[in-house]
Amino acid sequence: MTKRKALVTGGAGFIGSHLTKLLSENKYDVVVYDDLSNGSGVKNIPKNVKIIKESILNIKKFRNACRNVDVVFHLAVKPLTMSFDKPEEVIEVNDYGTYLVAKICTELRCKMIHVSSSEAYGTALSLPMKEEHPFFPHTIYAGSKAASELYVRGFQKSEGLKMVIVRPFNSYGEYMRSDTYSAAIPKFFNRISRNQSPIIHGTGRQTRDFTYVEDTCQGIILADQNKNAIGDTFNIGQGKEISVKQIAKIMSEKYQEITKKELKLSLQYDNPRKGDVMRHLADISHARKILGYKPTISLDEGIERYIKWRLSGDS
């Protein structure tokens, strides 16, 4: 049986590396296309997978990389936190980069799985959030993700691009970046592991739908494998709402349980983060019905896996 040939932009990043690994296990012939500006997941990529170190902004190199490819999974992106100090870079990669990816996929007749973000929705106007929920971005990053979807949709409508859009909700797990631009969970671990109180921005009552990265990637792969998904958009989440301060407490308790250390930590509160959304909860019924998507890793198990991985020294 001929393997399906896939190219993963941003395949050396957090979600991208997990996706690359799962694609390889699902008998895809995978190539990673990544400029390695982040590369938090390089060690997670199987040894037999080719890595092309290049930017999606180099259209000539990207076109050559996409020849004879069946599907492009597009995850190359600059993160939300970077949009506060380097907004031009975020717009260039997230918007113009996506335009170039859609252009080449259209030209070479590759299918495109565009990995967007729930951030494009902004704060929930109704719960749970369906795919029809309007865009109300709170940051340059969120705006770039909303705009990028419109470029992809435009290529579909005008040029016949075969595409699927997926909107992950707050993925977490091993190989998340833990640097300046990291998300809440790595930052909480960094503090707790040093016996320092987790810092909560705002009240901590803001909620998220945290989804373990392997569940996210299963949803992305299903979006390629189901022919009925073409031209459609899918929320990929856990379908459960939890507050940020609850996450911090769970991480502190789980860390102490795993390490057998007793820490006397209270939550430390700081100013609200710019552009923070207040509530997020995915309605995943559409993905369940069309894709057969079903998240399997509970938050408790996912947090335990993440903490054990950080403690292992592989991070």
141 is a catalytic site residue:
yes
- CA separation, residue 94 to residues 75, 76, 83, 148, 221 (Å): 9, 7, 11, 7, 21
Decide: 244 and 200 in contact? Cβ < 8 Å: yes
d(CA 129, CA 184): 22
The one catalytic residue among 33, 141, 151, 175: 141
Q: Kindly write down the DSSP assignment for every residue of 168-233, as one continuous string.
A: E--EE-TT---STT--HHHHHHHHHTTT-PPEEETTS--EE--EEHHHHHHHHHHHHH-GGGTT-E
Cite the active site residues. Answer: 141
